[in-house]
Amino acid sequence: DIQMTQSPSSLSASVGDRITITCRASQSISSLLNWYQQKPGKSPSLLIYAVSRLQSGVPSRFSGSGSGTDFTLTVSSLEPEDFATYYCQQSYSPPLTFGGGTRVEIK
């Protein structure tokens, strides 16, 4: 199975900050890497698929990059609604696997 390792597991930031979350795969997953946002009590929602493709309706302050085994999610300027937990996920081969999550909290 492909292991997905996210870091950090949590971070504190302020509105307007730029944040970066990293995700590392245990083997190459080409460009088949997705990012999800989940708010408490809600279902996850797709932010970015195929490394850098912004899902419809997602603000342009979110961006993704990387290839092979190393990937990043960047939020250029945090808004209040961005405080949530973020997960990376590989869709390269079954079993599909998720990272452990990064909780973004208000400083």
Partner 1 sequence: EVQLVESGGTLVQPGGSLRLSCAVSGFTVSSNYLSWVRQAPGKGLEWVTVIHSDGKTDYADSVKGRFTISRDNSKNTLYLHMNGLRAEDTAFYYCATSTVGATYGDFDYWGQGTLVTVSS
Binding-site member from 2, 24, 32, 72 for partner 1 (CB under 8 A): 32
| Count of positions on this chain that bind partner 1 (CB under 8 A) | 27
Select 12 or 45, whichever has its Cβ closest to partner 1: 45
Strand partners, 5: 24
* Contact characters 48-77, partner 1, x per CB under 8 A: -xx--x-xx---------------------
Q: Is 46 one of the binding residues for partner 1 (CB under 8 A)?
A: yes
Q: Is 83 one of the binding residues for partner 1 (CB under 8 A)?
A: no
CA angle in degrees (0–180, nearest 5) for 34-50-94: 65
The answer to whether 84 and 104 are in contact (CB under 8 A) is yes
CB atoms within 10 A of CB 29: 23
Q: Is 1 one of the binding residues for partner 1 (CB under 8 A)?
A: yes
The answer to whether 16 and 80 are in contact (CB under 8 A) is no
Write down the H helix ranges in the chain. none
Chain residues binding partner 1 by CB under 8 A are: 1, 32, 34, 36, 38, 43-46, 49-50, 53, 55-56, 87, 89-92, 94-101
